[in-house]
């Protein structure tokens, strides 16, 4: 095989013999591995990459050598074969280059069975795929999850509850008199309030919880493995933090806001995730009717379908 041709390819090419000795290491592999061909050709591959000495890899090689099979290693399943560092703008997102690889049978000039490993750098493609996926589930303004993702996760958690009894709570919150913020301070300031409130919610929840923008100035928080009492404590903590917070823009304008919150917890009487949203929304509406800046817990059994105002109240 003409080395000069292999060296100009924008693909990694490695040729091994049946004892895992490196027969060829092309220029692409040199550039991305930092290992010169003089250093690696003629030596055992596992000497340089011991992490490849696995049952999966050796079985794949034997399948190619013994049966002339082609083996493809998808990035989605294996992420990479050779641990090459990621360079450039993608280094902050991936520690190692993302690779799609193939193992191909080859017969040498003397009839010796060889194996060709091709390595393609697909880091940019993976980055773009992940970015697109993030865009479909994140709110464009606040950077937290959007309504579509919230609905999906609520469906999943409700199904999990029906199967295993894993309890979770849903909290809905709304910024009090938000229209006045936009009317008096302008929509850019209103956007600032939305973004900083979203950031505050993200800061105080656990990593497993879900913060989403429900729509407009309304947000939702899914508190996993949390009963009603714990959800109420969290909601009151958030209410107080918002009440104490001052929102400032670059022009020196300052504003304080309050929020109203509604809380509900999944029970065996809940018929769907949409039913759970309906209960949390009713509890939120009760908070607004009670003068705003307070937390309301929905309790269907004790209050015959009417929201119950919590003893945890603001002013």
Residues with catalytic function:
217
Helices then strands, each counted (H, E), the chain? 13, 13
Partners of residue 295 on adjacent β-strands: 261
Contact of 273 with 158, CB cutoff 8 Å: yes
- Secondary structure string (H, E, C) spanning 131-165: HHHHHHHECCCCCCECHHHHHHHHHHHHHHHHHHC
Query: How many C-beta atoms lie closer than 10 Å to residue 228's C-beta?
Result: 18
Enter the tokens of residue 65.
């050598």
Q: What angle do CA 157, 161, 162 make, to 5 degrees?
A: 120
């Amino acid at each position: 095989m003409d080395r000069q041709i292999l060296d100009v390819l924008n693909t990694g090419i490695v040729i091994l013999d049946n004892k895992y000795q490196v027969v060829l290491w092309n220029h692409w592999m040199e550039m991305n591995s930092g290992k010169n061909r003089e250093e690696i050709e003629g030596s055992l591959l596992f000497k340089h990459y011991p992490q490849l000495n696995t049952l999966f890899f050796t079985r794949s090689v034997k399948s190619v050598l013994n049966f002339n099979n082609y083996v493809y290693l998808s990035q989605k399943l294996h992420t990479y074969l050779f641990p090459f560092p990621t360079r450039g703008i993608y280094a902050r997102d991936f520690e190692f280059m993302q690779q799609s690889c193939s193992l191909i049978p080859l017969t040498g000039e003397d009839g010796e069975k060889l194996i060709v490993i091709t390595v393609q750098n697909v880091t940019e493609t993976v980055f773009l795929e992940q970015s697109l996926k993030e865009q479909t589930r994140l709110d464009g303004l606040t950077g937290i999850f959007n309504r579509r993702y919230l609905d999906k996760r609520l469906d999943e958690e409700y199904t999990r509850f029906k199967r295993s009894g894993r309890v979770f709570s849903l909290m809905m919150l709304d910024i009090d008199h938000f229209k006045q913020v936009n009317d008096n301070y302008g929509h850019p300031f209103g956007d600032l309030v939305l973004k900083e409130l979203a950031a505050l919610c993200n800061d105080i929840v656990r990593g497993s919880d879900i913060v989403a923008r429900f729509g407009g100035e309304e947000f939702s928080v899914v508190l996993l493995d949390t009963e009603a009492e714990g959800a109420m404590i969290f909601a009151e903590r958030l209410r107080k933090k918002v009440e104490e917070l001052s929102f400032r823009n670059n022009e020196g304008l300052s504003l304080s806001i309050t929020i109203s919150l509604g809380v509900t917890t999944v029970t065996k009487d809940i018929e769907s995730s949409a039913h759970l949203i309906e209960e949390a929304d009713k509890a939120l509406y009760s908070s607004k009717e009670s003068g705003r800046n307070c937390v309301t817990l929905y309790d269907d059994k004790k209050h015959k379908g009417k929201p119950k105002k919590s003893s945890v109240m603001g002013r």
